[in-house]
Chain A
């Protein structure tokens, strides 16, 4: 029986294992040094905040793995020996494989800041990071202030976590506005306001210069490039992630930023594959980046590779871009491409609407000349994924999308709706006369 060894039990590795089991009887081994059972990394914050216990963020009951004959090995892979077709673990054991899949995910970026390895300085990515944070910042008495460095999704989640225990937080963001490398200005500005509403000390356009140590080797303060020294007990480094591939350096597997793979997710060495955050495409797919550290793409790669490994070779072919996040109390979804001012394509035009009082806004991107709808960012409104996927496939115009926007509303029943306000704003901005159509199940479900 063919033995498939998967290094890493995150969403990519586990999705792969589950789908291989659905499709075949192959022997499957999942190796992880982080946790024995799969858990949802994106939910770690809720454990610290007390919304859930750790066991709740494990999507499968523990006996699931045995029942589905997926071997779990709690161990750390040191080396991959491609000629012998084995991997060696740090405890001295080796595992022989027929096919090997590298799904080791990411590690937090460190940019060589002085003091970045002190006690009390940490990222927020793994289960161990969470345990560290519980030690470093159990409450506001033992952690008088935390400084978070890096203006992205993990940074704001970490700020929310610490605020849930009323720990004062200073948030250093290199950019002039929160996440404005990704978000258009209006949205980024709204999130700035929301962060401050939550009593987070947001410092825009501010870089970390150095972390100062106390006599015991613990962080005691940070120094910013504005010359300020901020006393703190915890420093959160959340300036992005890089593929976790150091253990492959001498293996002969081709590495770039991550493990280089082709569209079949094969590496340069036969029978070795890579998926998830640690995989890097030779050529970027569409407007995507070669390395995408996103939950959903990891899942999709797992689904795809399972087909390939079970005799149904399939190229990784991600459909339209989508993503989601939550900024404190504001939900965010995006479908298709809406670029920030910095990365905006020359054909890309934006329509922005923001609610006059509430923290709700959308931005739609469309083609300057053809009027083709390119993508939408929505904050505080839920929109239906299927419909936007279809509209993007059908290359609908922005007028069409607005006209049928009520179909796409995915907010719970009895919520206020904003389609009329959005459309009338568009009509004013662009001198048009679009009339919204009523919601139709027939259109939503494509019934005939």
Chain B
């Protein structure tokens, strides 16, 4: 007994150290990664296509074999044994090292691509050169750092997607959902845009499953011009971009909740669910974190709305005889749409809003005032004193790079897997607004069966305290819920179920839980 480490009385040593097969698979995967890292030093390995294939295959194989060694011999069911004892998944040394390495990678990727071997006006070197053959095969162009990233991203989602499906193989929902994100990443985010570029060189690069405001650049002058110049296909894509915001996504969100996007389609979500899965339990569930989350994410929405308006505004003309869409009519249009949405929410959904109403009201007020300001106080191309391009580069730097990449993914092992989706993604916020107000989606709780064990809250990647609702028997209609379904999967008592039901009775605060035979109306009246 004396050898026992008494300092951790409630968490002993890992019950599952790596088994032999897992150690071998780590070696295989790391060898694949090692080939890429070696390329940073610009070794001339010769046949790039061959070495790239070897490297990616080894990475893929490593993850695959690791998953097999971890789950294949076990029974179907929830397998979280020892998650909090492992260094990598409990913010231990390995977790921190991984976090730092990932963050470093993102910083280099976004700001110093030359260190990866990106060469402007010349042949690439280093690790990027290794990807040239694949890029040329797909689009005909040499690789960029984004192509390298896109390839690794896709390989990550595919390999860890298989791991995820293995781990949750008892759940039909998890299997299908993961297949879906794997498909959308590979086809829509990776291959189709490249091929489109090959077929029609004038079209802007367009990941069709991304929509504004996630692709905040979609309505910039160069892109809009690009779409228009590319003829019918381009116009169709521009139209699709607009429809997806105002028609397609609201309809889908009405029917299925925002999960149709965040957990079935989105690439950021795909990475979080697959590569990020071992870290989902690290998200902060405190009330404080919830407060921060709401302020930050709503501010991002305000910012992105203003920025996009400003960007479009800056390249519209004033001449009513040439185009019907002038600076003035555009601003009025934006103001009308916002007012309509705001008024609708305040009039018809007032009683469902409460606290969020304040954020909504403040956001609305800020946007409208700035719109007015833009109209009256701005000179040509300037929004107040800023150039709209300054606004855009600021957003792109702060939100597009730092938040979504460097912090969002780099800090997986520290803050959990959905930091970006939770705190930063304007798309998630807008879909969440729709989900909260008019979707059929909810997480239903099962009468009085909750034992408050806390598995649901612990494994919620969005930091929702699911248990707080479940133990009260309340349906969960939080706007941040991405519908990943893990709370339902880890519940040992079958209390939680994702459902698209009728809106009647969707929000159901209960006075007394099921089990006590009391007449609820009588109880309420007696008070």
Contacts of A92 in B (CB 8 A): none
Checking B175, B454, B494 against A56 with a beta-carbon cut-off of 8 angstroms, the contacting residue is: B454
Query: Would you call A73 an interface residue if the criterion is a C-beta within 8 Å of the partner chain's C-beta atoms?
Result: no
Q: Which of A51, A57, A447 is most buried by chain B, counting CB atoms within 10 A of its CB?
A: A51
Q: Which of B12, B80, B499, B513 is most buried by chain A, counting CB atoms within 10 A of its CB?
A: B12
Whole-angstrom distance between the alpha carbons of A410 and B501 in the complex?
A: 13
Question: Do A43 and B447 have beta carbons less than 8 Å apart?
Answer: no
Question: Do B171 and A412 have beta carbons less than 8 Å apart?
Answer: yes
The segment from B24-32, B64-72, B391-399, B485-493 found at the interface with A is B485-493
Contacts of B172 in A (CB 8 A): 412-416
Tell me the B residues contacting A by CB distance below 8 Å. Answer: 1, 3-4, 9-15, 75-78, 80-86, 170-173, 175-176, 281, 286-287, 444, 446-449, 451-455, 457-458, 467-468, 471, 485, 488-490, 492-494, 497-499, 501-502, 504-505, 512-518, 523, 526-527
Question: Do B10 and A53 have beta carbons less than 8 Å apart?
Answer: yes
Contacts of B176 in A (CB 8 A): 414
Q: Contacts A40-B452, A299-B513, A329-B75: A131 and B9 contacting too (C-beta < 8 A)?
A: yes
A26-67 toward B: CB 8 Å interface, digit per residue (1/0)? 000000000000001011001101111110111101000000
Question: Do A445 and B502 have beta carbons less than 8 Å apart?
Answer: yes
Contacts of A61 in B (CB 8 A): 286-287
Checking A46, A56, A304 against B457 with a beta-carbon cut-off of 8 angstroms, the contacting residue is: A56
Query: Would you call A252 an interface residue if the criterion is a C-beta within 8 Å of the partner chain's C-beta atoms?
Result: no
Residue of A nearest to B10 (CB): A54
Question: Do A322 and B448 have beta carbons less than 8 Å apart?
Answer: yes
Q: Contacts A52-B458, A329-B75, A382-B494: A319 and B517 contacting too (C-beta < 8 A)?
A: yes
Q: Contacts A43-B453, A296-B448, A384-B447: A412 and B75 contacting too (C-beta < 8 A)?
A: no
Question: Do B81 and A164 have beta carbons less than 8 Å apart?
Answer: yes
Query: Would you call A205 an interface residue if the criterion is a C-beta within 8 Å of the partner chain's C-beta atoms?
Result: no
Total A residues in contact with B, Cβ cutoff 8 Å: 69
A-B pairs, top 9 by smallest CB distance, nearest first, are A385-B447, A329-B77, A382-B494, A43-B453, A165-B15, A319-B517, A414-B172, A50-B82, A138-B12
The segment from A222-230, A268-276, A310-318 found at the interface with B is A310-318
Checking A57, A384, A445 against B453 with a beta-carbon cut-off of 8 angstroms, the contacting residue is: A57
Nearest CB in chain A: distance from B503 CB, A: 11
Checking A130, A326, A383, A447 against B502 with a beta-carbon cut-off of 8 angstroms, the contacting residue is: A447
Question: Do A447 and B10 have beta carbons less than 8 Å apart?
Answer: no
Name 25 interchain pairs, CB-CB below 8 A, sorted by A: A46-B455, A49-B80, A50-B14, A50-B80, A50-B82, A51-B81, A54-B10, A135-B9, A139-B15, A165-B15, A166-B15, A197-B75, A198-B75, A300-B513, A300-B515, A307-B523, A312-B526, A319-B516, A322-B448, A328-B75, A329-B170, A389-B447, A389-B514, A412-B488, A441-B502
Question: Do B11 and A59 have beta carbons less than 8 Å apart?
Answer: no
Question: Do A329 and B76 have beta carbons less than 8 Å apart?
Answer: yes
Question: Do B517 and A410 have beta carbons less than 8 Å apart?
Answer: no
Residue of A nearest to B85 (CB): A50
Contacts of B471 in A (CB 8 A): 59
Beyond A43-B454, A52-B281, A56-B457, 15 additional pairs, beta carbon < 8 A = A51-B78, A51-B83, A52-B458, A131-B10, A138-B13, A165-B15, A300-B516, A319-B517, A322-B449, A324-B493, A331-B493, A333-B494, A382-B446, A414-B175, A447-B505
A258-277 toward B: CB 8 Å interface, digit per residue (1/0)? 00000000000000000000
Query: Would you call A402 an interface residue if the criterion is a C-beta within 8 Å of the partner chain's C-beta atoms?
Result: no
